[in-house]
Amino acid sequence: MEQIFTLGFFITLLAATIRLSVPILLAALGGMFSERSGVINIGLEGMMLIGALFGVIGSYVTGSPWIGILFAIGGGILLALIHAYMTVSLGVDHVVTGIAVNILSVGLTSFIFRAMFGITTTPVKVNAFKPLAIPGLKDLPLIGPILFQQNILVYLAFLLVPLASLILYRTSWGLAIRTVGEHPKAADTVGINVVKIRYLCVLLSGIFAGVAGAFLSLGQFNMFVDNMVSGRGFIAVAAVIFGKWKPSGILAASLIFGLADALQIRLQAVGTGIPYQVFLMLPYIVTVIAMSGLVGKTTAPAALGKSYEKN
Amino acid sequence: MQPILKMINITKTFPGVVANRNVNLEVYHGEIHALLGENGAGKSTLMNVLYGLYQADSGEIYFEGKRVNFESAKDAIRAGIGMIHQHFMLIPVHTVLDNIIMGLPGDRGIFYDRALHRERVLEIAHRYGLEIDPDAYVQDLSVGAQQRVEIVKALYRKAKLLIMDEPTAVLTPQEVKELFSTLKKLSQEGMSIILITHKLNEVLEVADRVTVLRDGQVIKTLNTKDADEKLLAQLMVGREVNFVPAKSPCQPGPVVLEIKDLVVKNQRGITALNGLSLTVRGGEILGIAGVDGNGQTELAEAIAGLIKPVAGTILLNGEPIVGKKPRVITEKGLGHIPEDRHKRGLVLDFTLSENIILQSYYCEPWCGKFGFLNLNSIKSMAQELLEKYKVKAPHSEVAARTLSGGNQQKVVVAREISRRPKLLLAVQPTRGVDVGAIEYIHEQIIKERERGAAVLLISTELSEILALSDRIAVIYKGQIMGEMTNDNPDINEIGLMMAGIRKKKEAS
């Protein structure tokens, strides 16, 4: 048992933590924008799933994982449009619509996958993102192998954190988004277009979730299997809340969930005699513990989940 | 002189209601123009049309001589119209500066130059004597300070015409005075101001001209020089109004309610009542004056058994009721007209008859053997009450939600009074209710006193306290600042106590 807790073990564990936190981070950052504008988005799971499939299709058809990413974004936008139309335009309950988006996505992706590739026993392999070691930095002791031998989407995802923070707190867009999520009527009275902002934020969450899904299918597993997101979208929803609707908090939350995931994979492999399903539960147990008040009182945007009607 | 604003033949209908019918309004440069009317007279609708939040069905608007058609608030703001809503349009968790600049375009691309905005905001605030701290969070500000933020927000958007919707509803008398002097200063500098209100004294005090609306129509526009309260009230309500209901001299009976050293913490764990003591006798009305949020809600809820005090005693007819369940306290003779009829007073989606039996559904004659409700007797009793208390409703089986605010409140009053309480606890009994219903509810409260009930009236409307009370106590930060009989009381002194300043004699 003790020979596994070597330096090498920790390096690979932390490198995996970084990698596994990326899909959660991406989806959660998008979800943050949606929720900051007042729209609950638990459809992240479904949006990731369609992103995962469309990414594979795009890469399969064109041979380029980058085109795959564009496809994934398209898929995310498609589901996000449904979610935005239902919640913002029609005023349907956000949670109900989110559940519908998730269920729709499970069926839709399985159907499209079979329609395109037939019923196969061997998964379809496509061109995926390769690790991109950053010259100079990759050879740093400890930090190099942990941080700088990842694929390009990992770097992009982490760069999005300060960018999201900048947009949210320093720009007119960010203030408009925060205003709409807190008090849409007040936003209306200063001439902010509530419907437009909410649509854009939900679409943004669709884009981010689509990329997050493509990261799974093109950056981690290099294939699509049914329901491959397996709860990461829900964990992203939890990360938004756990991270108190702030980019920095969401980064921390995603890393914690990533660590739990990385740890459970390794514990499964060690052969402790404990059924591996116990370790499989780890990320979800962390989620439950995190949500049950570990972070103290969190204050959601005041108008979260509330539809806004002008008259 | 050309008016800055001309609204001609504005008509606006909502499904089933004509909110404005052929309304004409002219406002001149540098004028304070009051828009007077009862709730539901169409004042707010008219202003929302002007501000671009609603679209009129027909009619024309001219602003600075040009025909305008505002499709959203953005258009109205750009043209130079600012509106300060009754419920402030501020974000509590944002800073004052963010609240002022929200909705403005970025300075460098989409980025804000907050330092520059901060400087400009302070400059404007300084010029008009509006003291604000740009870095404070709005949730930490007093209501008066929040209103200053709203005014600066409008000025910062270069407003030439300022619409103020019921601006004094939440202010102390001193804050009202300050606001009025600010408004006068603004109008002297050329600002045109529309003041929406249903308070007659305010119109006479601050406005140059007044337009009276009733049932969506303009009744008259006149100079305030040529008006008095009686005339305005008559125009507004359409009949003569008694401002001070007739009362017989007070004949206090035995003590009904006695509160000693009551300490209550609110939901956030903050001490809301801090050793409060008072007594109310049968046949008298004790009025609790004070600015909203000084423990009034907690006092009422503690008496009604809705929150448990930390310390102190409450005796109802000599019996301690602290820790007793609301139902027990109700059965011991408490009638409670709660502060918020939507939250506590009524179940809006229940019918009127269901609302009327809310506290007594389990007793005879509503409930028969085996727990079955006696629907016929409930219905006929409800119908009887609606008629007796002049509630305007088609019948007793409509949802409470469908009634106007005044009629909803009458249902609550009818229910509480019909149980012939020994103590009537009336909290903000006429909030958001029009003049006609106010007059009626006041009469009912006085009738209860005459019947011998003890009445504890908690209200933030000083005029209501003065009109009804036999004694007046002022609450500030959870304590009674002082008490006096309602016999030519010194209003200035009450105002000072409401702001937490004790009587001069005691201070020296």
From first to last of its 508 residues, chain B has per-residue pLDDT tens of 689 999 999 999 987 778 899 999 999 999 999 999 877 788 888 999 999 988 999 999 999 999 999 988 889 999 999 999 888 999 999 999 999 999 999 999 999 999 999 999 999 999 888 889 999 999 988 888 999 999 999 999 999 999 998 888 777 778 888 899 999 999 998 999 999 988 888 899 999 999 999 888 999 999 999 988 888 888 888 877 766 777 888 888 999 999 999 999 987 788 999 999 999 999 999 999 998 889 999 999 999 999 999 999 999 999 999 989 999 999 999 999 998 888 889 999 999 999 999 888 888 778 877 888 888 889 999 999 999 888 888 888 999 988 877 889 999 999 999 989 999 999 999 887 777 788 889 999 999 999 999 999 999 888 899 999 999 999 999 999 999 998 888 888 898 898 888 765 544 3
Structure tokens at B465: 């306290």
Name the closest residue on chain A to residue B153, using Cα atoms: A190
State residue B508's pLDDT score.
38
Q: Which two tokens stand for residue B270?
A: 């903050």
H/E stretch holding A191 reads none
User: How confident is the model at residue A294, as a pLDDT?
Assistant: 63
Residue A233 has pLDDT above 80, yes or no: yes
Query: A-chain residues within 8 Å CB-CB of B70?
Result: none
Measured distance CA(A191)–CA(B451) in Å, rounded: 55
Partner residue facing B73 (CB), from A170, A171, A191: A191
Strands B66-68 and B58-63: antiparallel
Restricting to A residues 292-311, those with a Cβ less than 8 Å away from any Cβ of B are 299, 302, 310-311
Measured between alpha carbons, how far is B196 from B176 in angstroms, rounded to an integer?
14
A185, B89: Cβ pair inside 8 Å? yes
Give the pair of three-digit tokens for residue B261: 């050293």
Closest to B202 (Cα-Cα) out of B227, B237, B235, B221: B227
Cα angle B42, B44, B46 (rounded to 5 degrees) comes to 65
**C-alpha angle A222/A228/A233, rounded to 5°?**
115
pTM of the prediction? 0.77
C-alpha span between B26 and A254 (Å, rounded): 59
Q: Which CATH number fits domain A13-128+135-294: 1.10.3470, 1.10.10, 2.30.29, 2.70.220?
A: 1.10.3470
What pLDDT score does A164 carry?
A: 97
pLDDT of residue A146: 81
A311–B83 CB contact, under 8 Å: no
Q: What mean pLDDT do residues A156-178 have?
A: 96
Residue A289's pLDDT is what? 82
Q: How far apart are the first and last CA of chain A?
A: 66
Q: Looking at the DSSP assignment, which residues form a beta bridge with residue A311?
A: none
- Ramachandran region, residue B323 (left: φ > 0; alpha: ψ -120 to 50; beta: rest): left
Sheet containing B161-165, strands listed edge to edge, beginning at the edge strand earlier in sequence: B81-84, B161-165, B192-197, B32-36, B209-214, B217-223
Q: Is A175 on the interface with B (CB under 8 A)?
A: yes
CA distance B220 to B214: 10
- H/E/C letters for each residue in B20-31? EEEEEEEECCCC
- Please indicate if any CB of chain A lies within 8 Å of the CB of B51: yes
CA distance B343 to chain A (A): 18
Q: For the CA atoms of chain B, what is the radius of gyration?
A: 25
Under the banding of pLDDT at 50, 70 and 90, the label for residue A3 is low
Of B166, B208, B200, the closest CA to residue B43 belongs to B166
Domains along chain B with CATH numbers: 5-237 (3.40.50.300), 255-343+421-507 (3.40.50.300)
First to last CA, chain B: 54
Rounded Cα distance, B167 and B86, in Å: 6
Among A170, A182, A190, beta carbon nearest to B112: A170
Residue whose C-alpha is closest to residue B59's, from B220, B163, B67, B78: B67
User: Which residues in chain B are closer than 8 Å to A178, comparing Cβ atoms?
Assistant: 91, 94
What is the distance in angstroms between the Cα of A293 and the nearest Cα belonging to chain B? 17
Q: For the residues A96-109, what does the mean pLDDT come to? A: 96
- The answer to which of A3-7, A102-106, A185-189, B400-404 has the lowest mean pLDDT is A3-7
| Angle of helix A232-242 versus helix A194-214 axis, rounded to 10 | 130
Minimal Cα distance from B99: which residue of A?
A: A179
Instruction: Compute the distance between CA of residue B265 and CA of residue B308 in angstroms, rounded to an integer.
Output: 9
Q: Measured between alpha carbons, how far is A61 from A54 in angstroms, rounded to an integer?
A: 10
Contact A185, A192 (CB under 8 A): no
SS3 B251: coil
CA distance A35 to A205: 9
> Can you give the residue ranges of every domain in chain A?
13-128+135-294
Q: Shortest Cα distance from B345 to chain A (angstroms)? A: 24
Which tens digits make up the pLDDT trace of A24-50? 999 999 999 999 999 999 999 999 999
For B:434-453, CB contacts with A below 8 A are none
Q: Which residues contact B179 (CB under 8 A, 6 or more apart)?
A: B144, B147, B167, B168, B171
Percent of chain A scoring above 70 in pLDDT: 95
Distance from C-alpha of A299 to C-alpha of B91, rounded to nearest angstrom: 14
Instruction: Return mean pLDDT, chain A.
Output: 90
Q: Which residue has the tokens 């309260």?
A: B229
Whether omega before B134 lies within 30 degrees of 0, making that bond cis, reads no
- To test the contact with chain B by mutation, choose from A190, A200, A245, A298 the residue with the greatest count of B C-beta atoms within 10 A, namely A190
- Of the partner residues A191, A193, A310, the one whose CB lies closest to the CB of residue B77: A191
3-state secondary structure (DSSP) of residue A173? helix
**Is B53 in Cβ contact with A183 (below 8 Å)?**
no
Half-sphere exposure of B3 (CA within 13 A, CB side): 17
Residue in A closest to B55 by C-alpha: A311
Specify the pLDDT at position B191. 93
Report yes or no: B12 and B49 within 8 Å, Cβ to Cβ. Answer: yes
Spatial contact of A37 and A201, defined as CB atoms under 8 Å apart: yes
Closest residue on chain B to A187 (Cα): B103
Give the pLDDT of residue B507: 42
What's the average model confidence in pLDDT over A150-163? 93
Out of B14, B91, B110, the one facing A186 most closely (by C-beta) is B91
- Of B175, B5, B161, B180, residue with least CA distance to B83: B161
Nearest partner of B208 among B32, B35, B27, B37, judged by Cα: B32
